[in-house]
Amino acid sequence: MNHIGIGYDVHRLAEGRKLVLGGVEIPHSKGLDGHSDADVLMHAVCDAILGAMGEKDIGHLFPNTDPRWHNAPSRLFLKEVARQVSFHDGRVINVDATLIAEEPKISAYIAAMKENIARELDLNPRRVGVKATTNEQIGFIGRGEGIAAMAVACVELPK
């Protein structure tokens, strides 16, 4: 039986942080502020998969109050979410995600992001969609204060 989940994440941009999106370090004057590497793309994908399984969100699995996750790469979170799908005798069918940011332009990094997500989920990269859009200079994202991501995932689980 196929189950669909939706994920969303947003983080502020901050000085002195690396910008990591989809497991790719992207040259930029600011990075995303958060307890882990604050990779909004991987966080949204994690939440979409967890939602498809009917589980709680990423914050319950990897709380920002736990020092183990301080500056942790989000690929570890995605790897654990994939392990949980497997534990429930399921499999991820596909993932589709959108990054929302005014800058930097990320089209040159999308293929690597897809590869990283696919690797952690043991998927063919053709089963991973990553797109990017701006917020048309509207709101905090449009002012360049943060970056958001949303994702959907289809997970096959036994009845």
Per-residue pLDDT reduced to its tens digit, 137-154: 999 999 999 999 999 999
Q: What pLDDT, on a 0 to 100 scale, did the predictor assign at position 105?
A: 93
The domain total for the chain is 1
Within 10 angstroms of residue 127's Cβ, the number of other Cβ atoms is: 16
CATH number, domain containing residue 38:
3.30.1330.50
Q: How far, in Å, CA of 41 to CA of 124, rounded?
A: 18
Q: Read off the tokens for 124.
A: 């063919």
pTM, to two decimals: 0.96
Measured N-to-C along each axis, helices 40-52 and 110-121 cross at an angle, to the nearest 10 degrees, of: 40
Peptide bond into 63 cis (omega under 30): no
CA 140 from centre of chain = 20
The domain containing residue 111 runs over which residues? Answer: 2-156
Task: Report, as an integer, the average pLDDT of 54-74.
Answer: 93
Percent of the chain with pLDDT over 90: 97
